[in-house]
Structure 1
Amino acid sequence: MRPLKDLTDSSTLSEALRYGLDSPATPETLRLVDYVVKVFGTSTVAVIHYGSHAQKSGARPESAYDFFVIVDRYAPAYRSFRAATGPGFRASTAIILARILPPNVVRIALPDQPLQGKCAVLSLAHLERLTSPRSLDHFTQGRLFQHVQLVWTRDTESRSAVLAALVRVRAATFAWGRPYLPKEFDVESYFRALLETSFAAEIRPEANDRVPQLLAAQGNTMIPVYTELLQYLVATSILAQAGKVYSQIHHLSRMDRLRIRLYFKRSKARATFRWLKHIALYDNWLEYIVQKIARRAGQNIELTPLEKRWPLLFLWPRAIRFLISRPQRQARQHDAL
């Protein structure tokens, strides 16, 4: 995608878009972060906490904490991970997959404690690419434009680099979100459109009723952030404002709309392949998927002995039925009527 221009050139806007990134993490989060840093070793650059625990958007105590783990290079990070966590996937497999379709997602669990983390692992170079207009998909930006916590950085230089990436993500939301905005919108409906657009770009178990939960949980942080962004767009004659209501002054060309639509279609295809990587890399991947469907879609799945023993052979019919009937798909069909 081509940006309007680099909005982060404004130091005032950049500072405003950092709001909430330093919000305090819970003791449980910090215990997991300490373990994450230990497991990935000296290659660890930063840890970003995102998702339902960071947002306080209905996470259950037993659900995994979500992290982006930023590393210098994949090879030493995955070798350290394998040495620390024991048998599982080969480090060489993770390294190859990370270079083909970043990020990889791996599971960690605190020894002898009921705390587990779901870690999306990115090199700093890949983080910078995936938070720029050169990104090939929406996986990373679709998570980082929401409320996140920068909970650990190795040093001042690392902190500056990761903060710059997070600010870029927030500034870029108008570039990819503008085709999906209503004719007139306030800050809340702007953030809602971003969430709905991002959810539609992936295969997820949730219906759109998850979006109001996220709006309520993140409003205190993200409404001020995107108020500052929209005010900047008004000041630079990109948006018009009447009270609390905004509208676009210049509308996208048909070619730009097509470009953004293709970006999200490609993103959804790549998201589908990421589910296949779960099988190769995510410890207890089948249990994780079943629990997530139960938690987010309200569907309790009882696997047969054959499905548990040979899921790649016997789980396909059930998976296809769920993809066809999942709440997200039903909500989208209803909205299209």
Structure 2
Amino acid sequence: MSYLEPLIGAELAEPVELRVSSFAEAIAEQYCNASCAVLFYGSCLRTTELEGQMLDFYLIVSSYEAAYGKSWLVRANELLPPNVFPAEHDGLIAKVAVLSEADFHKLNGPEASAVSVWARFAQPSRLVWCADEAARKKIIAAIARAPVTLFELTLPVLGIQPQTPIRIFHRGFALTYSAELRAERKNRSGSVVDADLDRYERFGLATMATLQDQDPSESGELSFAEAQKRWKTLRRNGKFLTLARLAKASGTYAGGIDYLAWKINRHAGTNYEIKPWQRKWPILGAITMLPRLIAGGAIK
């Protein structure tokens, strides 16, 4: 067990509002025996604001075949994970990302082709529904990989001077935010850390201790040049995958383009309005809106 796992287990077990746990239970019931765990994360967890917000859940399933049966959704989730679906319960709305246990473990590690999963789970989350103790242990082990991945990729680009956990998290999250098409303002990555400095100090120290105790054969230590090359690849992959997932969402997520505009307006302070033709052809609509938003600084 790493130094991180006890911290992660305790954090995942922290209570949430009853409506959140009820929502998670409803999500799990929809997928019956395929459901392993439901995780709650994101801005609604940090602020505890639920009304009028879009909650963020990850549903972890045993396999895509068990979750969807004989459906094209199996292949879509395998090729371009996760699948994302809208959900509504007790007056709350959410988006639900679906990953298998195997993909959740992989995408929290350095072998992931993009930052989207491990960058999020290096931040706080809650295990709001779980099938059993075995599933809980797998979730903890997978999430324990996320801050290790962040540190392994960030430390080489910081230079040789001693680094504090807070500085590593600040720099690491800034790099992950630049590796996706993000609507958040430039200082958003830093504000995530500053909102809970004690948490990131404790998790950072545990991450550094875990790295020191790693078997050399398992270490992902990179040189400066190797790390720079890796971040360049992650930035390229992240931008492409954002567009690809948006295109896929047109088949799984009704109103996806309206959600994209809502999220951009909320985080970037813009007032972008979706035109009727963009709802009719959401993929083309999204593609045409992105260059304008990037040029205007709404998406970076």
TM-score bracket for this pair, using the shorter chain length: 0.7 to 0.9
Q: Which residue in the other structure is 1:169 paired with?
A: 146
Is 1:137 the equivalent of 2:99?
A: no
Q: Which residue in the other structure is 1:187 paired with?
A: 165
Is 1:75 the equivalent of 2:53?
A: no
- DSSP 3-state at the match of 2:73: helix
Shift in Å at residue 143 of structure 1? 0.9
Q: Which residue in the other structure is 2:88 paired with?
A: 109
Q: Which residue in the other structure is 1:270 paired with?
A: 241
Mapped to 2, the partners of 1:61 and 1:279 lie a distance apart of: 26
Deviations 1:252-272 (A, max 9, x none): 253454244324433332233
Trace 1:105-254 onto structure 2 (pairs within 5 A): 105-110=84-89, 113-181=90-158, 183-231=161-209, 252-254=223-225
**Which of 52, 55, 74 is matched with 1:95 structurally?**
74
Change (3 A) 1:155 1:327: same
Deviations 1:22-56 (A, max 9, x none): 21111221121111111121110011111111222
Deviations 1:2-26 (A, max 9, x none): xxxxxxxx54454345452221111
Bigger relative CO (Cα 8 Å, ≥ 6 apart): 1
Mapped to 1, the partners of 2:28 and 2:41 lie a distance apart of: 16
Length, aligned pairs only = 294
Mapped to 2, the partners of 1:313 and 1:127 lie a distance apart of: 30
Sequence identity (%): 24
Unaligned runs of at least 5 residues, structure 1: 1-9, 80-90, 239-249, 330-337
Counterpart residue identity of residue 20, structure 2:
T
Mapped to 1, the partners of 2:277 and 2:117 lie a distance apart of: 35
Q: Is the 8 A contact 1:208 1:328 kept in 2?
A: no
Change (3 A) 1:50 1:120: same
Change (3 A) 1:290 1:209: same
Mapped to 2, the partners of 1:135 and 1:18 lie a distance apart of: 23
Counterpart residue identity of residue 294, structure 2:
L
- DSSP 3-state at the match of 2:110: coil
Counterpart residue identity of residue 224, structure 1:
R
- DSSP 3-state at the match of 1:172: helix
Q: Is the 8 A contact 2:156 2:227 kept in 1?
A: no
Mapped to 2, the partners of 1:134 and 1:305 lie a distance apart of: 41
Q: Which residue in the other structure is 1:7 paired with?
A: none
Is 1:33 the equivalent of 2:2?
A: no
Change (3 A) 1:192 1:255: closer
Name which of structure 1's ranges 125-134 and 261-270 shifts more when overlaid on structure 2.
Answer: 261-270
Largest Rg, 1 or 2: 1
Mapped to 1, the partners of 2:55 and 2:144 lie a distance apart of: 22
- DSSP 3-state at the match of 1:121: strand
Is 1:49 the equivalent of 2:40?
A: yes
